[in-house]
Amino acid sequence: MPVILGIESSCDDTAAAVLIDGHICSNIIANQKVHKQYGGVVPELAARAHLQNIIPVVDQALSTANIDKKEVNAVAYTIGPGLIGSLLVGNSFAKSLSMSLGVPLIEVNHMQAHLLVHFEKSIPDPSFPFLGLTVSGGHTQLVLVNSPSEMEVIGQTIDDAVGEAFDKAGKMIGLPYPAGPYIDKYAENGEPNIPFSMPRVPGLDFSFSGFKTSVLYYLRKQHQLDKDYIQNHRNDLCSSVQHILVRILMEKLEKAVIQTGIKEIVIGGGVSANSGLRQALSKQTDWNVFIPPLSFTTDNAAMIAVAGYFKYQNKNFGVMDRQAQSRMSL
């Protein structure tokens, strides 16, 4: 009955989780509110907050799971990708704890973990092979997953991530950071009747920079005609932004299903919490779709612990001299 402690610090959330025999027994996340006033994550501030949060977060994860640190069999942590300063905090802490406890260290790829969290034993798990769609503020990828250790990116953004497109569009509409949840909320009472541009990128790759430019030019033009346009049309603006971004994702996913013949679909990442995307996926009755619980959508350590569990079973352990990586492939 292995006990895995997972540690996540890739961006602005300090997280720790305890997994016992494949079941998540605690999943603690400390959010950093300091970034709201800047309209985005400030890397230096994020790293400092991780230093303040990591010890109490790990302590709370252990106590919530009713586990003493001496009962931990392995320490899994995010080695990348992410903000290098943030990653280094989790990297250093995990190595120190692993060494002091005399237990294996497990390196986990953050993006792989977003897909592997579906194998936590309390939720339905997909069958291999499956198509993974990872959607977040930093990544947008289509992944062919043949096993927990064999993943191939078959499509990805060539510029910005879909989560970043949500946030930047929301900022133009006057919404707080992070804007994604606010867009989702206001979209419920709006109509997708504003014709923002749809990028046309060949193959399975994505692009969102042109969409953001379309939103900017449209709002600039409307503001010249009516100073209160955004305030008076906020719900429709949010509905239109969400509609286009979800449509971009779904069109590429549908194309991937046709090309690969795989109808086992797994979604992961912060944008997987979006209700518009969830509704669009639920309408695909020919697919076997796996959507994570909301607690597993944003950055969390449960997914790191689950991914680490696979490596623990295969004795695929990390080394002390490997450094955190801001960029890394699957």
Residues of the chain with pLDDT below 50 are none
Q: Are 312 and 8 in contact (CB under 8 A)?
A: no
CATH 3.30.420.40-classified regions of the chain: 3-121+296-313, 130-291
Q: Are 79 and 318 in contact (CB under 8 A)?
A: yes
Structure tokens at 247: 């449509």
Nearby residues of 216 by Cβ (< 8 Å), 6 or more positions away = 172
Rounded to two decimals, the pTM is 0.95
From first CA to last CA, the distance across the chain in angstroms is 28
What CATH code is assigned to 3-121+296-313?
Answer: 3.30.420.40
Return the pLDDT at 204.
98
Per-residue buried b or exposed e for 236-271, using 16+ beta carbons within 10 Å of the residue's own CB: bbbbbbbbbbbebbbebbeebbeeeebebbbbbbbb
Return the pLDDT at 42.
86
Choose among 247, 299, 253, 303: nearest CA to 276.
Answer: 247
- Output DSSP code: residue 205: -
3-state secondary structure of 105: strand
In this structure, the dihedral spanned by the alpha carbons of residues 181, 186, 190 and 194, taken in order and rounded to 10 degrees, is -60
CATH 3.40.50.10540 is right for the domain spanning 130-291: no
Give the strand order in the sheet containing 264-268.
Answer: 150-156, 140-147, 130-135, 264-268, 288-290
